[in-house]
Chain A
């Protein structure tokens, strides 16, 4: 069902201007622009019209109804926080990678394999989970700063939102770092929605999950720059159709880079490390 503005206008009986269009609390330019646009829209269409029942109302309680145009993007708040994280990281010369996958695809295993192979690159990890610090404990032996973020106290969110990441970043010695891995909460749906201010999103998909996942969860594969096909050491035991997976990836995101690897055998790791070092070099030492 849609609001019918013309219908509403016909019922409108001179309720005057809506009081809310000056919004003194909105001070930033983006909001101001939005409100200016709203005012323009309002002027052109008899605006925030009352579907007033006052014409026919019999006795109390009398109430007037009006529709106000808002056009507020629900992801704006997250986006603003993400932009401020991104600016902060750029100033500090830190490259951030947001690792996303379903639970158990091998994000922590990838970090265990990666952290000892970074050479002189100074890394840290933000570890996102709904509950427990199990993953942070797994990474403790590598001697890099690890901050655990639990979304449990915040409604058990199935993804990391930018405000939690911004808080966690404050606990990292950013000035002494080159690289931050953000290990997102295991989930193929929601993490794709929330920008965290990272430089790159990387999605992991293990070969036990099936070739059809890119088609079923297109957004996460569209948002990512790189897809890591993990646990390839298991391929001999599976009826997994790698060419079909690659075709499916291409269908949802023709520009996605793909690297196959197994952290268990170590095969393919160099492809991932090469991608990381290329991206890092480009980001931190442009031209």
Chain B
């Protein structure tokens, strides 16, 4: 169950990112890129995010998980193709395929909601 420790790390970073925006700022949407080789189960990640975000600036925020299809480039012919997650050999050359996508685990952006500043002047 590594989703829970990932969710906790994610929330630590969200809190860090929101700090400069003041105490009342909230995260309303969080965009996470997850590579297909990362063995992250989206449903489990959602559940852990909901649990771990209780009482934080991201409570109630929508977690958007964008799954990245693994891709690789053959070290022989240089051809790029999707890796159907079990084949790391080039079907043409029988040579290793170097991974170029699929291992992401990236908090890409956060949508922040701030109370209207004009009211606070």
Q: In the complex the two chains form, is B2's CB within 8 Å of A64's CB?
A: no
Q: In the complex the two chains form, is A219's CB within 8 Å of B111's CB?
A: no
Q: In the complex the two chains form, is A67's CB within 8 Å of B114's CB?
A: no
Could you tell me how many residues of chain A have their Cβ less than 8 Å away from some Cβ of chain B? 52
Q: Which of A20, A69, A189, A250 contacts B20 (CB 8 A)?
A: A20
Q: In the complex the two chains form, is A65's CB within 8 Å of B85's CB?
A: no
Q: In the complex the two chains form, is B111's CB within 8 Å of A25's CB?
A: no
**Does B105 sit within 8 A of A, measured CB to CB?**
yes
Q: In the complex the two chains form, is A215's CB within 8 Å of B88's CB?
A: no
Q: In the complex the two chains form, is A65's CB within 8 Å of B9's CB?
A: no
Contacts of B110 in A (CB 8 A): 67-68, 70
- Kindly name the residue among B6, B20, B66, B89 whose own CB sees the greatest number of chain A CB atoms within 10 A: B20
Q: In the complex the two chains form, is B105's CB within 8 Å of A73's CB?
A: yes
Q: In the complex the two chains form, is A22's CB within 8 Å of B111's CB?
A: no
> What are the interface flags for A225-268 relative to B under an 8 Å C-beta threshold, 1 for contact and 0 otherwise?
00000000000000000000000001111110000000000000
Q: In the complex the two chains form, is A65's CB within 8 Å of B37's CB?
A: no
> How far apart are A76's CB and chain B's nearest CB, in angstroms?
9
**Does A168 sit within 8 A of B, measured CB to CB?**
no
> How far apart are B118's CB and chain A's nearest CB, in angstroms?
8
**Does B29 sit within 8 A of A, measured CB to CB?**
yes
Q: In the complex the two chains form, is A161's CB within 8 Å of B5's CB?
A: yes
> What are the interface flags for B47-80 relative to A under an 8 Å C-beta threshold, 1 for contact and 0 otherwise?
0000000000000000010100000000000000
Within 8 A of B (CB), among A165-223: 189-190, 192-194, 215, 217-219, 222
Closest to A191 in B: B2
Q: Which of A3, A18, A75, A254 contacts B96 (CB 8 A)?
A: A254
> How far apart are A161's CB and chain B's nearest CB, in angstroms?
6
Within 8 A of B (CB), among A54-68: 54, 57, 60-68
Q: Which of B2, B17, B19, B66 contacts A189 (CB 8 A)?
A: B2
Q: How far, in angstroms, from A51 to B114 measured CA to CA in the complex? A: 11
Of the stretches A97-105, A136-144, A151-159, A277-285, the one at the interface is A151-159
Q: Which of B9, B22, B88, B111 contacts A51 (CB 8 A)?
A: B111
Contacts of B87 in A (CB 8 A): 251
With A22-B20, A70-B13, A254-B88 known as contacts, the answer to whether A63 contacts B113 (CB < 8 A) is yes
Q: Which of A22, A71, A194, A250 contacts B89 (CB 8 A)?
A: A250
Extra inter-chain contacts (14) besides given A2-B31, A20-B21, A62-B116, CB under 8 Å: A62-B115, A64-B115, A67-B29, A67-B109, A70-B17, A74-B13, A77-B12, A157-B1, A193-B39, A219-B39, A251-B86, A253-B88, A254-B88, A255-B96
23 contacts between A and B (CB under 8 A): A20-B18, A25-B19, A51-B111, A63-B115, A67-B109, A67-B112, A68-B111, A70-B110, A71-B109, A72-B17, A74-B10, A74-B13, A77-B12, A157-B1, A158-B2, A190-B1, A190-B39, A194-B2, A218-B88, A251-B87, A252-B86, A253-B88, A254-B96
